[in-house]
Amino acid sequence: FSKYDSNFVAASLDEAYLDITRICIDQEKSGEE
Protein backbone atom coordinates (compact mmCIF):
# COMPACT_ATOMS: atom_id res chain seq x y z
CA PHE A 1 0.00 0.00 0.00
CA SER A 2 2.96 2.31 0.37
CA LYS A 3 2.83 2.58 -3.43
CA TYR A 4 -0.31 4.72 -2.99
CA ASP A 5 0.44 6.40 0.35
CA SER A 6 3.92 6.76 1.82
CA ASN A 7 2.27 7.46 5.21
CA PHE A 8 0.38 4.12 5.18
CA VAL A 9 -0.05 2.69 8.69
CA ALA A 10 -1.25 -0.83 9.43
CA ALA A 11 -3.12 -0.63 12.75
CA SER A 12 -3.94 -4.34 12.95
CA LEU A 13 -4.51 -7.32 10.66
CA ASP A 14 -7.92 -6.01 9.56
CA GLU A 15 -7.46 -2.26 9.86
CA ALA A 16 -5.28 0.31 8.09
CA TYR A 17 -5.08 4.01 7.39
CA LEU A 18 -4.60 4.85 3.73
CA ASP A 19 -4.91 8.36 2.30
CA ILE A 20 -6.03 8.09 -1.32
CA THR A 21 -6.96 11.76 -1.71
CA ARG A 22 -4.18 12.47 -4.25
CA ILE A 23 -5.09 9.36 -6.28
CA CYS A 24 -8.75 10.42 -6.40
CA ILE A 25 -7.81 13.94 -7.48
CA ASP A 26 -5.43 12.63 -10.16
CA GLN A 27 -8.12 10.27 -11.51
CA GLU A 28 -10.87 12.89 -11.16
CA LYS A 29 -12.93 10.75 -8.76
CA SER A 30 -15.34 12.25 -6.25
CA GLY A 31 -16.55 11.04 -2.85
CA GLU A 32 -19.72 9.66 -4.42
CA GLU A 33 -17.73 7.35 -6.68
DSSP states along 1-33 = -TTT-TT-EEEETTEEE---HHHHHHTT--TT-
Name the more confident of 23 and 3.
Answer: 23
pTM (predicted TM-score): 0.44
Phi then psi for residue 16, to 5 deg, are -155, 160
Q: Looking at beta carbons, which pairs linking 8-16 to residues 24 or more positions away fall under 8 Å?
A: none
The Cα 16–Cα 20 span in angstroms is: 12
Q: What is the pLDDT of residues 4-32, one digit of tens each?
A: 777 777 777 777 677 788 888 888 888 77
What residue spans define the domains of the chain?
1-32
